Structure 1
Amino acid sequence: MRYLLAFLLALALPAMSAAQTGWPALYDVAGVASDDVLNVRAGPGAGFDKLGSLPHDAEGIEVIDVDDGVRWGRINLDERSGWVSLAYLRRLPGQGDRAFPAVARCYGTEPFWDLERDGDSVTFRLLVDVIAGPVAVQQTRSTGRLDRFGFAGTGIAATIARSACNDGMSDRQYGLSIEVLLRSGGDWTQYSGCCSLQR
């Protein structure tokens, strides 16, 4: 019995450690002179090509993931992703490993859809038509995984996971994936996509 318990704990460790990274999270640029910018690089290091820059006072920057040394963070810039030095970013409070991700928008393709969250309600649009919402939802969290969350309301339910995600249409990267179940009439339809903490 003791060996079985040790084996099960060993299997759970990779999932637990991945869930405890606490990304994605929102940051403000900090420590950059007012006449300077924070460079966005093609890779996690100053030797990589410059893709663009962030103003010295940029706020609410979503860091999707970090490099192995936790010195560089991956962000989205226009329709691609790049890397910025974490030494010049300050993490906003209330975003611990166990905190429910403050999802602002989620997206999917084929067909194009988006979900916007505003407080305790969500609105689901298919193409440009509002299909559901605003619908009041209640947040839930997995009893067995630290990296799984969800919400549910009348005619809609979703599971959100801290996992790498791509919209399939750009080079943008996301740190949250979502599975949405939406009831229209008597039928349920499932939509898969990615979520962002930014509007």
Structure 2
Amino acid sequence: MLRTAFALMLLATPALATPEYILPTLFDVTGVEADDVLNIRAEPSANAEIIGTLAPDATDIEVVEEGFQGKSSWFRVNAGERSGWVSQNYLTPHYDVWKQDELPASLRCFGTEPFWNVKAESGNLTLSTPDAGDDTRPIQSILVSGYYLEPRRAVLAADMTLTATPEICSDGMSDQVYGMDAMLILHGEEPRLLSGCCTVQPRHDDTD
């Protein structure tokens, strides 16, 4: 009798859900006919203005925010110089973007006033500015929160610290929206703090 009661108690206790994804992360278009497109709309609504489209085989689409209309789920993506919404029903998440103790290969952070961008590659953190060019420093440590799929990161390099925090962020230059807030601390005799945004959207060009 006690064993039966214990079994019933286990069935009645909700399991701790493992998140399928945490934004921002990358998705692929799925379930769209080969001769069709996935519409990007100005608002999370099937009746909103169409501001762009995604090809039926589009991959590596960064989703930065989730929104709802009734019971329908929508994802926010960037389209040109704007951001818009696509139906969640047609996007499938990647599961290998945010690995423990690693940085996504496509991660880059940037800001304005002054203009700067930073990226990690080959074990280094490289800061680029229009005035000073490239400043490359070896990465000493990558810190994570320890939560599964959590995007939050802190990167410690020689006299340089980069933090990336999941939070809606604007670059101040366009109507695009990003999913991570960035802070770059430059140590030394005259410490500086630079603020901006981060993205994991892969780039398909060689420009900074």
TM-score normalised by L of structure 1: 0.79
Q: Which has the higher strand share?
A: 1
CA contact (8 A) 2:25 2:200 kept: yes
Q: Is structure 2 residue 204 aligned with structure 1 residue 180? A: no
What is the RMSD of the two structures over their aligned residues, measured on CA atoms? 2.7
- Partners of 2:74 and 2:100 lie apart in 1 by 22
Q: Which moved more, 1:163-172 or 1:148-157?
A: 148-157
Q: Is structure 2 residue 129 aligned with structure 1 residue 126? A: yes
Structure 1: segments with no counterpart, 5+ residues:
1-18
Q: May I ask how many residue pairs the two structures share in their alignment?
A: 179
Q: Which moved more, 1:148-157 or 1:91-100?
A: 91-100
- Partners of 1:143 and 1:25 lie apart in 2 by 17
Q: Is structure 2 residue 64 aligned with structure 1 residue 64? A: yes
- Partners of 2:193 and 2:97 lie apart in 1 by 28
CA contact (8 A) 1:182 1:190 kept: yes
The 1:165–1:99 alpha-carbon spacing in structure 2 relative to 1, beyond 3 Å, is farther
CA contact (8 A) 1:22 1:97 kept: no
Match of 1:93 in 2: 95
- Partners of 2:46 and 2:58 lie apart in 1 by 20
Q: Is structure 2 residue 157 aligned with structure 1 residue 153? A: yes
Match of 1:53 in 2: 53
Match of 1:108 in 2: 111
CA contact (8 A) 2:185 2:194 kept: yes
Match of 1:13 in 2: none
- Partners of 2:175 and 2:102 lie apart in 1 by 26
3-state SS of paired residue (1:43)? coil
- Partners of 1:25 and 1:159 lie apart in 2 by 17
Cα shift readout 1:52-89 (whole Å, capped 9, x = no counterpart):
10111111000001014571100001111000111111
- Partners of 1:131 and 1:160 lie apart in 2 by 20
Match of 1:4 in 2: none
3-state SS of paired residue (2:191)? strand
- Partners of 2:115 and 2:175 lie apart in 1 by 17
TM-score normalised by L of structure 2: 0.76
Match of 2:15 in 1: none
CA contact (8 A) 1:179 1:190 kept: yes
Q: Is structure 2 residue 176 aligned with structure 1 residue 191? A: no
The structure whose Rg is larger is 2
CA contact (8 A) 1:175 1:195 kept: yes
Match of 2:168 in 1: 164
One-letter amino acid of the counterpart of residue 171, structure 2: D
Match of 2:10 in 1: none
- Partners of 2:172 and 2:22 lie apart in 1 by 24
* Cα offset, 1:147, TM superposition: 6.7
Identity percentage of aligned residues: 35
CA contact (8 A) 1:63 1:75 kept: yes
Cα shift readout 1:81-101 (whole Å, capped 9, x = no counterpart):
000111111101135798876
- Partners of 2:76 and 2:190 lie apart in 1 by 39
